[in-house]
Structure 1
Amino acid sequence: MSNQNTRYLSRSAAPKYFSDIQIRAFHDPNARHHPGSHSGTILRTVAWNNLGSRIATGGAGGNVKIWNPEKADVRSSTDLKGTGLQTTEKVQWDPTHAERLASCGVGDSGVVKFWDYRTAKATQDIKTGGDNYSLSYHPDAYVVAVGRKDNKIKILDLRQNAVVNTIDEGNDTTFQTTFSHNGTIILQTHASGKVVLRSYPSLEIIYTFNAHTAGCYCLDISPSGKYIATGGNDALISLWDTTDWVCLRTFDKSDHPMRSVSFSFDGAFLVAGSDESMPISMMHVESGEYVHEIKANYPAHAVAWHPSKYVIAYTGEVLRVTGAGSFSS
């Protein structure tokens, strides 16, 4: 990606800065609409690698595609075929390696595939025994937590190539499972609206709080670890202090359920995605102000900030990437 001056952006400068953003659409002419896909959205998940040099997407049809954010031409992308899935629900990059990633979803006995995109081949696969909805790497990249649709969370150890532990959440659907930055806590979001924190590796519950009045769908941890943001079926984004677990503020501009939420690399800004057609709002974390709005006439289910720049990748019927001054002409 071409050089962007990575100076920190103030709240007052943000509206003008983001109003000048470029938006690039990454079209795949071979992609087809799949009637069984959720809310008609083809792409379900998006993730940057740790260098910000590649973007992974996945969705209906099961395949995973790797894009070069500098080149919107599909000929510069890489297909990871043979997932065995009907739908890819989640992709995530190895936090220690810019070329490795994992994917999971619905189909093929819940196979979780681990890839090296340079060879476009799977290096490893582990079956969880059921359809999967979420996954999260431990910071050491040897352990992955995978949430199944039957409310069981499987702990995978890549060194043993096996499932080594299971968390059973009973009747309370779990939507997202995420490791803390230091790997000592697993955070889970639930259909009941609560967030559960478990100690790792003991898996014992250490704290629970009610984040939303309806389902809590998504969660992100700020880069500093000072805050977490949660999104829910009540159309709210909630900001929580991780010292006292107090809700500092809510963002309530949306009328639709929030399916993904992401902090910018400096922790200053938030964006969130929904299954419903709506603008993508950008919020300033400390002041609570809305600073920009990205027009979108389609569902943007998944959103993700670049790891070191003011650039956003978001899904819809195609991948779009936006960021002022970030791309070569």
Structure 2
Amino acid sequence: MAPLVQRRQISKDRFGIVFGSHKSQSYIDPLVRGAPSSLHRTISWNATGTLIATGSTDRTIRVWNPEIATSKSQIELRGHTQAVEKVLFNPTREFELVSCASDGTVRFWDTRSKVCTTKLDVGGEVFTLSWSVDGTVLVAGTKNDVLFPISTTSTPAILGRHPQTTQTNQTCFSNAYPPGDLLLTHSDGSVSIRSYPSFSTIHTLMAHTSSCTAIAYSPNGKYLAVGGSDALISLWDTTDWVCRRTLSNPTFGAVKGLSWSWDGRFIVGASEDVSSGDGAGMGSGGLEIYHAESGDVVYTVPTGTSGIPAVEWHPSRYWLAHSQIEASTGKSMLKVVGAAGVGLSI
């Protein structure tokens, strides 16, 4: 694995000035059978931040070099027969990518050889994936509320089948080595903390008044962020599981994605909702970046009148990748704020 770049923190007070000096670069899809680009529903950086993968409703996975914006720099991975719901790079192997789709399969890809190395048929419509931080375990979830842990230490293999009694939306692991706690969001507004691999419940958080739709564990281990269909992001202290603050904006739509900066100090959320507005929030013309400790908005990435289905911070720099739906055309594209040759290399 190539070494990560040297990390350099920016203070809260200077973040808006420094990050605001970045430009936003668009990455345009080639035409697919003569049709306009489809919706990029999911984004993932690889472990070294040298590649970005997107999964689309046209059943295609695309892998991009963030420093080259032309369509010739991207590769396509094909095999899914229905819309791709999630793509995730292995957190410890920079060229291993996993994807899932409504076709009931989880697929592992080698982005160097551009081939699917393993295909697992889990049954049902697979829509969510989460890696343990050491890359040894992957959990897949289906729309009929069944979770499938998958061992990835050698040839990927399904370890079991765990039906859930409550509608389960998204999952994530804690930062423990080896994997310990698995966190699940539910339609009743709760988050359950499960012991892995037993799946026994350790604790339950009543996080939101409506369905919890996104979840992300901070890299520094201090907070768990939970997004809901109530347009709120709640931040939970992982030492005592107390909600320290909520982040909100009246123009938010349902929070469909969350991402922490590499240092765990800044957080951003995604919403597919397309609406007109004044550029103040998700889905209304801007993408708000929050300072976790204060809850303050430190910068709003101008996006125009558009929805933001997916957003993801670079693993070691203050670069931000997001997909964007243009309200006037319905077209989707990938954008990166801060890539080398486009903005400052921080």
Q: What TM-score do the two structures reach when normalised by structure 2?
A: 0.87
1:292 paired to 2:305: no
Matched-pair contact (CA < 8 Å) for 1:33–1:42: no
Q: Provide structure 2 residue ranges, at least 5 long, that are not aligned to the other structure.
A: 275-282, 325-331
Identify the residue that residue 256 of structure 2 maps to in structure 1. Answer: 259
Deviation of 1:29 after TM superposition, in Å, equals 2.3
Kept in 1: contact 2:80–2:101 (CA 8 A): no
Which position in structure 2 is the counterpart of 1:16? 17
- 2:27 counterpart residue number: 26
Alignment of 1:143-292 (within 5 A): 143-158=137-152, 159=154, 161-170=156-165, 172-182=166-176, 183-253=179-249, 254-277=251-274, 278=283, 279-292=286-299
Taking the aligned partners of 2:288 and 2:245, their CA distance within structure 1 comes to 16
Show the counterpart of 2:334: 319
State which drifts further: 75-84 or 50-59.
Answer: 75-84
Cα distance change, pair 270–139 in 1 and its aligned pair in 2 (3 A): closer
SS in 2 for 1:12: helix
Match of 2:316 among 308, 315, 324: 308
**Structure 2: how far apart are the matches of 1:120 and 1:161?**
18
Separation of aligned partners in 1, 2:237 and 2:36: 41
Matched residues in 1 for 2:123 and 2:16: separation?
Answer: 47
- Deviations 1:200-239, CA, capped at 9 Å, x for gaps: 1111111111111111000111111110111110000111
Provide the rounded CA distance (Å) in 1 between the counterparts of 2:290 and 2:105: 37
Pairing 1:78-89 to 2, within 5 Å after superposition? 78-84=75-81, 86-89=82-85
* Cα distance in 2, alignment partners of residues 184 and 308 from structure 1: 24
Residues 65-80 of structure 1: matches in 2 within 5 Å?
65-80=62-77
Letter paired with 1:319: L
CA deviation vs aligned residue, 1:38-62 (integer Å, no higher than 9, x gap): xxx7110000001000000002011
Q: Distance between the aligned counterparts of 1:123 and 1:71, measured in 2?
A: 27
Task: Kindly indicate whether residue 59 of structure 2 is the aligned counterpart of residue 58 of structure 1.
Answer: no
Identity %: 36
Structure 1, 154-163 or 256-265: larger mean CA deviation: 154-163
Query: What is the CA–CA distance in structure 1 between the aligned matches of 2:157 and 2:321, rounded to whole Å?
Result: 32
Task: Letter of the 1:169 partner, please give it.
Answer: Q
> For 1:217, what is the secondary structure of its paired residue?
strand
Q: Using structure 1 for the length normalisation, give the TM-score.
A: 0.92
Aligned AA for 1:143?
Answer: V
1:37 counterpart residue number: none
Segments of structure 1 that go 5 or more residues without pairing to the other structure are 35-40
